[in-house]
Structure formats: structure tokens, C-alpha cells
Amino acid sequence: MFDDGTGNTQVGHRIAMLSSRIGSMGHGMANQGWGYYDVLMLNKGDASNVSTAQPDFVAWPSAGYFPTPLTTKISKKNNMRWSFSKVGTDFSKATVVMTDKNSITIAPNIIYQDANNWVKKDNAIVWMPNISTYNDGDKFNIYISMNDAADTNYSYWVEIVDP
């Protein structure tokens, strides 16, 4: 889910695992002598095993309350990558505006914008806000403008909470 590292700016593993079109998943580990080998299997669903009730969007951190321990683990590795995905959406012209609970703008560094569908994942936009530490009670408002002819916009909030 963290999908850190220089080669994962698309956070493809996370987007695939959270995809609204995944029909089935499998996870396994095996000791190969040199260490453990982790396997994740994702099967794109078909009409018989994918819900017709689709979410409006999928965000990470998820919209609403988000547990502090997940942000702590992520922040130790690097600045947390936020993502927003939606089936069949062209994010190539999208912009992201983030503000904190005091309405101070946090400049997001957009690191990936999807224009085409992958086989097993929803399209997404990925950004890294300039935040090194997340604390209990931090609240962020996110506004995504698609900058399209339909003037499509999305907004949601995330509050970091210590469970």
C-alpha cells in the first residue's frame, strides 16, 4: 500500500489493490532460502464478480479519518504519496489543491497523472505534499479539478487520528 521507492511514482500496486474492478485477490509468501518471496495476485473482474455499485472515487489516504500509525510508517521512508483514482477518468490536465485545518495551502508536487487505463487498475493522479510529519488532529481539505469541458471537480477531507 505504501508503494514507495523511485520506480513506483505511479503507485501501481496500491491503485490495483484498491481498484473498483478487481474481481479476486490472492496473497502468499514462500521462503526461498535467501529470504521470503511475496506474491500478490489480482484478477480483473468481469460482470459476474464485480459489484455494479461503484464508489465515486478511491483516495489514499482514504477520505475521512485516517490512522496516525500508517502515516508514521510512511513518513519514515519518504514523504507520503497521496493518490486519487477513478475508473475511466483522464487525469492528464487535473490539478490538486490542499489546505490544512487553518486554510493554509500546502503545495502538492504532482508526480504522476494517468490518461489511459491500465488493464487491472483505475486511472489515478499521485502527489506528494510537503509534509514530513503527520500528527493526531491534522486535517486536510483536498480539491481536485479535472480542468475539463464538463468542469468536473472533486473534494474531500482527511483527518489524521490516533486510534
**pLDDT for res 63:** 95
Q: Report how far Cα 131 is from the mean position of its chain's Cα atoms.
A: 16
Decide if 128 is inside a domain.
Answer: yes
**pLDDT for res 48:** 59
- Give me the residues paired with residue 110 across strands: 127
DSSP 12: H
Do β-strands 58-60 and 153-161 pair in parallel, antiparallel, or remain unpaired? unpaired
Decide if 60 is inside a domain.
Answer: yes
Q: Among 85, 92, 65, which Cα is nearest to 22's?
A: 85
**pLDDT for res 115:** 72
Give the residue ranges of the chain where pLDDT is below 50: 120
Decide if 116 is inside a domain.
Answer: yes
The predicted model scores a pTM of 0.82
Q: What is the CATH number of the domain that holds 154?
A: 2.60.40.1220
**pLDDT for res 153:** 93
Q: Give the number of domains in the chain.
A: 1
Mean pLDDT rounded to a whole number for the chain: 82
**pLDDT for res 50:** 60
* 149: CB partners within 8 A, 6+ apart: none
Q: Among 8, 30, 158, 27, which Cα is nearest to 77's?
A: 8
